[in-house]
Structure 1
Amino acid sequence: MSQAKPAPRLTVMVAFPRAQVLDITGPMQMFAGANGAAGARRYELVLTAEDKAPLKTNGGLKLMPDRSFSDFTAADFKRIDTLLICGGDGTAAAMENPALLSFCRKAAKQARRVASICTGAFVLAALGLLDGKRATTHWESLSKMQTLYPEIEVDEDAIYVRDGKFWTSAGVTTGIDMALAMIGEDMGHETALAVARQHVVYMIRPGGQSQFSAQLKAQSVAPGRLSDLMQWIIEHPSADLTIPALAERAHMSERTFARAFQAETGMTPARFVMQARLEHARQRLEQAQDPVEEVARASGFSNTEHMRRTFQRMLNVSPQAYRERFHSPALSALGVHS
């Protein structure tokens, strides 16, 4: 006797005018990709808004909602597996929309899993659903969330956070990371990895990863001695990267260098060096089969234990476990190295 196929998980994305289009399409495409990878409709995807009129996003594109809030029956609410709330320029107006808030409150109560992308977290916060919980949002809105909602434990660095059934992500492309993590939870890591590869997503990033990569931080600094030095650090993680050595390379006194670096980047030189070394090690573990000891040495860690402690503190996973989860045999076969 053949087994009955599992019912598709009803996955509802809540949208509003001037939403960030990638907050919507990024996660939804990952779930659609999971359907393709499974060869079956494992997720029933629905885009909903206050009405079914074309919805203009903040990028100018218009999306057609599948259903309006009023279309949902009591039976529909009971079927919702995952509720997703996008962010974008229209979030402030959405937070004052009675129909949207009423729908989200009712759906969140029934759903197995509730998630926000970017500033969509403010909708959950406005409903009191994140009180006493850890959460994150786009880096530009972190201080605003801390000020408006002091009862929320705001994680200032993570690309996404899970606390119970509530998931919040840092915004835009991190919604893709969060969706892949959900797919991995529902269907297994191999399926999530297959979806990531199909969509040429560089990797499946763990939620504890920082919103601020060393490379992006280096690019954000005005051209000059410090930006050149930061790029050099990224390219030479195993070099002597102590304050005296870096100050000498920057042609500054140690005190002036440390002060200027903090003022320009918002972080200490030691923090930036740690991030650069961690990113280098991650890439080596993902893309090559080098022994962990060699990865630690090439990435500038004093030894494997030093690297292990850094991975545990920053990513909540050991280097070996990280490789087992995120290593790409295809890149290794091509001889790709960082």
Structure 2
Amino acid sequence: MKTFLIIVPDGSMLFEAAGIADILMQANRLRPDVTAEPRYHISIATTQPHPVIHGMSGLNLLADHRLPELDPRTPWDTIMVTGRGMNAEEGTAVVDWLRLAAPHARRVVSVCGGAMLLAETGLLNERHATTHWRLLETMQQCYPQVKVENGPLYIQDGPVWTSGGVSSGFDLTLALVEADYGFTLARDVAQDLVMFLHRPGGQNQFSRYQLPQASSNEAINALLAWIADNLAVELPVETLAARVAMSPRNFTRVFTRETGIPPARYVAEARLAAARAKLEQTRDTLARIALECGFGNSINLRRIFERQLHLTPGEYRQRFHCRKMA
């Protein structure tokens, strides 16, 4: 039997921990011999001075343990952290406990912002890891020794597993079941719970496409609006610089300072964001979308989508289009 400790921060989305526990319990139920030992023994821990974990929704979860009362030398099979907590004090408590407990566990796992706490312990140094898409840049800046991956729902690097935002923890948990007991059991659990064992369209989390905006330079702000209206034309740095009466070199410096990214990257991201919006909200053909967004043709559009999002424009539209279009 594998012991599984789930550390749940106060104020979190409780369906993460509850769903993960349900997946593991379903693996327990699918035993050929009902008298056999359960595959997983699941425990919930809180950092709070009481056993009640208050959820973001207003619902509560009753924990089995208070984390400070657990001996970190206990040889857990799996320790999972489902978030980073509502305040630094709570996060520090988890980090301090994990530093002592990790050497005695077979593997350590995080969901969503929990990866930030794993990074703080040093467990992710020189390892590939991921987290919620909102935190990817923050993790890379704060923990440069971590090899942050943008996109995957989950990553395994040795005994450490990390996953993206919220429901990606379910995908990771199914992967853990598969690693522990094989494909057949993981498939059966997924089918019983009406889940994908492996999501279609690639194992990727999709960030909202929010382009950076200049905050202080009116000329750059006006240029960003002009770019959005002229994606179909060629937009080299020389053309953009001329629009704001700057030399290409000075323009690149100012633009990067104001937006956080170089002009060429901004144009590429603006084109991809526009194409995603059209796929979601219109019935336009791929050829028309490619032309209007500056990709030239549908072949280039497909190439960019497969490289950046790991699925085709058609697959993206199928997954994210407005329901009223169906």
- Decide which of 100, 107, 115 is 2:110's aligned counterpart: 115
Residues 12 and 45 in structure 1, CA contact (< 8 A), matched pair in contact too:
yes
- Equivalent-residue separation in structure 1 for 2:278 and 2:218 (angstroms): 29
Q: Which amino acid aligns with 2:93?
A: A
SS in 2 for 1:176: coil
Q: Given the alignment, which residue of 145, 148, 152 partners 2:143?
A: 145
In structure 2, relative to structure 1, the CA distance for the partners of 1:208 and 1:55 (3 Å cut) is same
Q: Report the Cα distance in structure 2 between the residues aligned to 1:181 and 1:307, rounded to whole angstroms.
A: 29
- Tell me the distance in 1 between the aligned counterparts of 2:308 and 2:48: 43
- Change in Cα spacing, 1:92 to 1:115, as seen in structure 2 (3 Å) is closer
1:240 shift after superposition: 3.9
> How many positions carry a matched residue from both structures?
283
Superposition pairs for residues 245-256 of structure 1, below 5 Å? 245-256=239-250
Alignment partner of 1:330 is 2:314: no
Structure 1's 134 and 306: CA in aligned 2 closer, same or farther, altered over 3 A? same
In the alignment, structure 1 segments of 5+ residues that lack a partner are 1-9, 35-40, 194-203, 334-338
SS of 2:291 mapped into structure 1: helix
- Cα distance between partner residues in 2 of 1:227 and 1:33: 49
SS at match of 1:255: helix
Matched, 1:271 2:265: yes
Secondary structure of the residue aligned to 1:175 is coil
CA RMSD of aligned residues (A): 4.8
Counterpart of 1:94 in structure 2: which amino acid? A
For the pair 1:163 / 2:163, whether they are aligned, the reply is: no
Shift of the 327–141 alpha-carbon distance from structure 1 to 2, 3 Å rule, reads: closer
In 2, Cα distance between equivalents of 1:11 and 1:117: 18
- The TM-score normalised by the length of structure 2 is 0.63
Structure 1 residues 1-338: aligned runs within 5 Å: 13-16=6-9, 21-22=11-12, 24-25=13-14, 27=16, 48-50=45-47, 53=50, 65-68=62-65, 69=67, 83-88=80-85, 89-90=87-88, 93-94=92-93, 96-98=95-97, 100-101=98-99, 109=106, 114-118=109-113, 120-125=114-119, 129-137=123-131, 138=135, 139-146=137-144, 150=145, 152-155=146-149, 157-158=150-151, 161-163=154-156, 167-168=161-162, 175-176=165-166, 178-179=168-169, 187=190, 207=204, 209=206, 215-218=210-213, 221-222=215-216, 224-324=218-318, 326-328=319-321, 330-333=323-326
* TM-score (normalised: structure 1): 0.62
Q: Which amino acid aligns with 1:308?
A: R
Mark the CA change 1:264 to 1:26 in structure 2 (over 3 Å): closer, same or farther.
farther
Aligned-residue offset at 1:266? 2.4
What is the one-letter code of the residue matched to 2:147?
Answer: E
SS of the residue 1:302 aligns to: coil
Say which SS state the counterpart of residue 166 (structure 2) adopts.
helix
The CA deviation at 1:301 is 0.6
Going from structure 1 to structure 2, the CA distance change for 1:96 and 1:166 (only over 3 Å counts) comes to: closer
Q: Is the 8 A contact 2:275 2:289 kept in 1?
A: yes
- Whole-Å Cα distance in 1 between the matches of residues 210 and 312 of structure 2? 23
Q: 1:261 to 1:223 in 2, by over 3 A?
A: closer
Which residue number corresponds to residue 35 of structure 2? none
1:224/1:176 CA distance change after superposition, 3 Å: farther
User: 2: distance between equivalents of 1:191 and 1:230?
Assistant: 44
Cα distance change of structure 1 residues 307 and 121 upon mapping to structure 2, 3 Å threshold: same
Instruction: Indicate how the Cα distance of structure 1 residues 330 and 122 shifts in structure 2: closer, same or farther if over 3 A, else same.
Output: closer
The DSSP-based 3-state class of the residue aligned with 2:261 is coil
In structure 2, relative to structure 1, the CA distance for the partners of 1:126 and 1:248 (3 Å cut) is: closer
Q: CA deviation at 1:254?
A: 2.8
Q: Aligned-pair distance for 1:222?
A: 3.1
Distance 1:158 1:181 in 2: 14
Equivalent residues of 1:183, 1:191 under 8 A apart = no
Report the Cα distance in structure 1 between the residues aligned to 2:301 and 2:141, rounded to whole angstroms.
Answer: 31
